[in-house]
Amino acid sequence: MDMLMFQLQKQLQTPLYKQLYREIKKAIIEGKILVDTKLPSKRKLADYLQISQTTVELAYAQLVAEGFIESRPRKGFYAQPVEELAYLDMPHDEPIIEEPVSYKIDFNSGSIDTHSFPFLTWRKLTRDILDDSNHELLLSGHPQGDDVLRQEIARYLYQSRGVVCQADQIVIGSGTEQLLPMLIRLLDKKLVYGYENPGYALTHSIFNHHDRQAIPIDLEQDGLNISQLEASVVDVAYVTPSHQFPSGSVLSATKRAQLLNWAAAKPERYIIEDDYDSEFRYTSQPIPALQSMDLSDRVIYISTFSKSLMPSLRLAYMVLPKRLLPAYQQTFRHYSSSVPRHDQHMVAKFMKDGHFARHLNRMRKLYQKKIKRLSLSLAPFAPAVTVSGEQAGMHIVLTIQTTLSENELVQRAKQVGIRITGLHSYDVHKKDSGFPKIVLGFGGLSEEDIHTGITELMSCWGIQ
């Protein structure tokens, strides 16, 4: 059995049977096990390699299935000629799989408070929507999403964000990452996109994956650098004006007017307004959407229910300017909505019956308490630590006066089981911008975890 002296690594993540299968297959391919050679019995090979007989049985079964060996009744297993195989799967390196890191406290900016979701109400709506008589929901609905939901969204946007639109301007989709590629296909291929830097990394990759030229535009304290935008060749500007991600800045009134004037100056220009967490504002009335100020029909408004309801719902929407509707309906006339109809009707009823408004009010108060707890926990560490972006949303930005780099702060936090993200990681240029800045999400944490997390962060960073 010298030919089967394989070195099986029990400490590897790859199962032993798969290691054995690969070693035997490799020996047959390389001619170390000759054609028609009888392999050891399952029991003998198991004893020889000090592994279980089941492990050998699984390896032999896979080799038989792929034609590398054959089982002869009452005789055993024999190697087969590889040149008779239809194809040969040559050995390849096992991919490196990193062990997932388990964090005891996760300041993830995308998390929400899952414990406060109105499950009883949602369960009742589910029963109502899935009533036996609701046969229509088993069929495909409107390509842009069911009218009942689009009507509710149009009403909600007007009341809460000042967005003026009709239901036929709204397109329902399963997330920004599904709607944005559709929008890119709708617009001329020659158009150049501009995006905020630092900004939401997903949008950068979507532009690149669809072979669209995209240019980063720097941020200033009051939002996008309009002068830089005007000097560029950008045709479509992607912005988060109400609560910029990740800096938390708000686009000033002056810059809003300048941005709208920039878009109106040329017929091919558009603004994509991502209003991802506008529901949660704590220090003043909600800022009207950029779309509500648009007199030139140039703003494409995008938002989701990820923060207001749940990320797993996978329900987003965009409001198209009327000038784009004919092109959209022509380009996507054969498409079906990617969001299940029963989910659409559940959200529509949740909104129509007033549950959505009540839920938002509860969550706004809850997140306001959390950000207050966060501010109080950080207060003793001023002026070494300063806070920005706390007026809205579910994340803040810390500026740390330290000799440590941003990466060193992140790694020290990781060593004590705390997840944080450096603002630098969202910057495509990775340029040095003074003291390190850290993005802290608080939506998914309890007030106790927030206080504990801040205390441990400051301790591991050596800030007192």
CATH number where 364 lies: 3.90.1150.10
Token look-up 């490196």 returns: 96
Is 125 within a domain?
A: no
pLDDT band at 282 (very low <50, low <70, confident <90, very high): confident
Q: 349 and 430: one domain?
A: no
- The CATH number assigned to the domain holding 36 equals 1.10.10.10
**pLDDT, position 100:** 63
Structure confidence at residue 11 (pLDDT): 64
Whole-model pTM: value is 0.78
Answer yes or no: do 304 and 343 share one domain: yes
State the chain's mean pLDDT as an integer. 89
Q: Tell me, letter by letter, the H, E, C secondary structure of the chain.
A: CHHHCCCCCCCCCCCHHHHHHHHHHHHHHCCCCCCCCECCCHHHHHHHHCCCHHHHHHHHHHHHHHCCEEEECCCEEEECCHHHCCCCCCCCCCCCCCCCCCCCEECCCCCCCHHHCCHHHHHHHHHHHCCCCCHHHHCCCCCCCCHHHHHHHHHHHHHHHCCCCCHHHEEEECCHHHHHHHHHHHCCCCCCEEEEECCCHHHHHHHHHCCCCEEEEEEECCEECHHHHHHCCCCEEEECCCCCCCCCCCCCHHHHHHHHHHHHCCCCCEEEEECCCCCCECCCCCCCCHHHHCCCCCEEEEEECCCCCCHHHCCEEEECCHHHHHHHHHHCCCCCCCCCHHHHHHHHHHHHCCHHHHHHHHHHHHHHHHHHHHHHHHHHHCCCEEEECCCECCEEEEEECCCCCHHHHHHHHHHCCEECEEHHHHCCCCCCCCCCEEEEECCCCCHHHHHHHHHHHHHHHCCC
| pLDDT at 74 exceeding the cut of 90 | no
How do residues 370-384 score in pLDDT, each as one tens digit? 999 999 999 999 999
pLDDT band, residue 323 (cuts 50/70/90)? very high
Assess if residue 91 is contained within a domain: no
Q: Are residues 141 and 187 in the same domain?
A: yes
**pLDDT above 70 (res 221):** yes
Within this chain, do residues 341 and 376 fall inside the same structural domain, yes or no? no
Decide which of 412 and 282 is more confident.
412
266 shares a domain with 142: yes
Residue 90 lies in a domain: no
Asked if 295 and 378 sit in the same domain, the reply is no
Is 122 domain-assigned?
no
Residue 5: the pLDDT is 67
Q: How many domains in the chain?
A: 3
Residues 258 and 296 in one domain: yes
Where a domain ends, among 289, 324, 353? 353
Segment 162-171 mean pLDDT: 95
Residue 390's pLDDT is 87
Nearest to residue 24, comparing CAs of 100, 78, 71?
78
Task: For residue 182, give the CATH number of its domain.
Answer: 3.40.640.10
Domain that holds residue 21: 12-84
Q: Are residues 372 and 307 in the same domain?
A: no
Q: Output 211 or 455, whichever has higher pLDDT.
A: 455
Does the residue 58 lie in any domain? yes
Same domain, 340 and 368: no
Decide which of 353, 370, 399 is a domain's last residue.
Answer: 353
Q: Are residues 382 and 338 part of one domain?
A: no
* Mean pLDDT value of segment 331-349: 91
Higher pLDDT: 450 or 13? It is 450
- The reply to whether 324 and 386 lie within a common domain is no
Do 211 and 273 lie in one domain? The reply is: yes
pLDDT of 98 reads 53
Q: Which of 395, 424, 146 is nearest to 282 (CA)?
A: 395
pLDDT at 85 over 60: no
> Does residue 368 fall inside a structural domain?
yes
Q: Is there a domain that residue 294 lies in?
A: yes
- Say what the pLDDT of residue 417 is: 95
* Mean pLDDT, residues 260-282 taken together: 92
Residue ending a domain, among 353, 372, 400, is: 353
Q: Higher pLDDT residue, 178 or 433?
A: 178
Please, which pLDDT band fits residue 201 given cuts at 50, 70 and 90? confident
Looking at per-residue pLDDT, the higher value among 157 and 46 belongs to 157
Q: How do residues 15-66 score in pLDDT, each as one tens digit?
A: 888 889 888 988 888 888 888 899 999 988 888 888 888 889 999 998 998 8
Q: Report percent pLDDT > 90 for the chain.
A: 63
Please check whether residue 5 lies inside any domain of the structure. Answer: no
Q: Assign 140 a pLDDT band (cuts: 50, 70, 90).
A: confident
Q: Find the helix packing angle between 341-352 and 119-129, rounded to 10°.
A: 120
